[in-house]
Structure 1
Amino acid sequence: MVKQERAARTREALVLAAAEVFAEEGFAAASIAAISERAGVTSGAVQFHFDGKPALARAVEARAARRLRRIAEAEGAGDRDGDPLLVLVDATYALLKLLAADVVVRAGFALGADAAHRSRVDLRGQCRLWTQELMDTAERAGLLAEGVSPQDATRVVVAITSGLRELLSVEPEWTSRQALARIWTVVLPGIAPDGKAVAYQKTD
């Protein structure tokens, strides 16, 4: 049991180290030596636990996907009076907070866009699909502004969140809670029916 626990800790340390190196250097430039040094283990230990750099990248992406699913599950469980737009707004704040705090999630998104890595997990696609489902639900409930299609509303939200992810590493002030609140202040009146936009602002 002790040996299994030690092996699990080593694997977690390697995934975290790999995420940090992938996020900083990209998949192609990242080396097993740099990852092992960051994790405080030998290169042989990396090879024992993972079948090369692609396997490490897949492990990072799998963990990132699980953490994203927790956001969707938590916000969906909260239900915000069953209002899909409230769920979506809350989720964007939760995603922003996760991206700022969790290098595994940042690396997962970066790996998905890295031409040098053949990704098996489409984190961007998962976010887009979940957003589309919420917008479809909002349309059926009459919660979208007149003339706004779920597809167009989804494109706007995806563009916002994608842009904030890219800005995180170069202009952190853009990814603050206050910055996102200002963005929603501008965007929501174009998505929600007249008089409803203010109700969707996050106040807690």
Structure 2
Amino acid sequence: MTKQDRAVRTRLALIRSAAEQFEARGYVRACLAQISAGAGVSSGALHFHFANKAAVAEAVEHEAAGALRAAAGHGRDADGSALQRLVDVTHHVARLLCADVVVRAGLRLNAEEYGGRTRDLRREWRECVQGLLAEAEGRGELAAGVTPQRTSAVVLAATTGIEVLAREDQGWLTRPSLTDLWHLLLPCLAAPRLVAALDPAGSGPTASGTPVSGAAAGGAAQAEPVESGADAPGVPAQPYAVGFALR
């Protein structure tokens, strides 16, 4: 392994360790000594890669944003019903949240507004939802009297609430939880001709296709001699079968 490869592995291990600390303790209470210890490296190695805690947090948020944007982009760019793609992307990102501690921590950091924030993940999620609903309206998929503006407010409130509740109980991110939400919403939102064809459980790929951040993509992203660690306590043991709230 080259020196460059080792540096990449160390950086990713530090990002994952930082994510575990930020998710469990928040930005203010997380400390650099715990982050370096969790990655199995010295404090000097941490400071070689990151100047301070804010720089580590920015790296975690950057990794999380990339994974979330990939999931949202898949929903926007795929074929088929816009409403079904909206359902699918919520399931997709919920699966991502279950699988990836870096994404969960990135969302928490973005909500905490710890300083120097360069992105607004809440706004990006809002734009994703509004874009899919506008497309649904243009394709005649919405029921009479249903507007993208009012509908997006409901979807955003519901999905954001699920993500916040899931910080204490990951069960809120399970497939049945989101399926129940869409069972209630779709008959109110969709044109009658489409209701029976829409799948509230999601029509996306299986969990194995979930994109994850680079820092959570497996043991290869760890610094030597770090072994791959488990995600934060409370994550469901069973994989999510089929997202989302950018808070």
The TM-score normalised by the length of structure 1 is 0.93
**After the TM superposition, which residues 38-187 of structure 1 pair with which residues of structure 2 at under 5 Å, given as runs?**
38-79=38-79, 81=80, 83-187=81-185
Out of 186, 189, 212, which is 1:188 matched to?
186
> How far does residue 55 in structure 1 lie from its aligned partner after superposition?
0.8
Q: TM-score, normalised by structure 2?
A: 0.77
Residue 34 and residue 117 in structure 1: after superposition, are their counterparts in 2 closer, same or farther (change >3 A)? farther
Higher mean displacement: 13-22 or 139-148: 139-148
Indicate how the Cα distance of structure 1 residues 77 and 129 shifts in structure 2: closer, same or farther if over 3 A, else same: closer
| TM superposition shift of 1:179 | 1.5
Report the residue type matching 2:45 in the other structure.
A
Aligned residues of 2:163 and 2:172 also touching (Cα < 8 A): no
Counterparts of 1:55 and 1:116 in 2: how far apart (Å)?
11
SS in 2 for 1:144: coil
- Report the more deviating stretch, 156-165 or 69-78: 69-78
TM-superposed deviation, 1:118: 3.5
Q: Tell me, yes or no, if the aligned pair for 2:143 and 2:188 is still in contact at 8 Å.
A: yes
83-92 or 194-203, larger mean C-alpha shift: 194-203
Distance 1:51 1:136, change over 3 A: same
Q: Which residue does 2:36 correspond to in 1?
A: 36
> How far off its partner does 1:148 sit?
1.5
8 Å Cα contact 2:87/2:202 also seen in 1: no
Separation in 2, partners of 1:86, 1:187: 12
The Cα offsets for residues 20-41 of structure 1, whole Å up to 9 and x where unpaired, read as: 1111111111111111111111
Match of 1:113, SS?
helix
Instruction: Give 2:56's aligned amino acid.
Output: L
Identity of matched residues, %: 43
Asked if structure 1 preserves the Cα contact closer than 8 Å seen for 2:166 and 2:173, the reply is yes
Unaligned runs of 5+ in 2: 204-247
Deviation at 1:117, TM superposition (A): 3.6
Within 5 Å, which residues of 2 pair with 1:13-32? 13-32=13-32
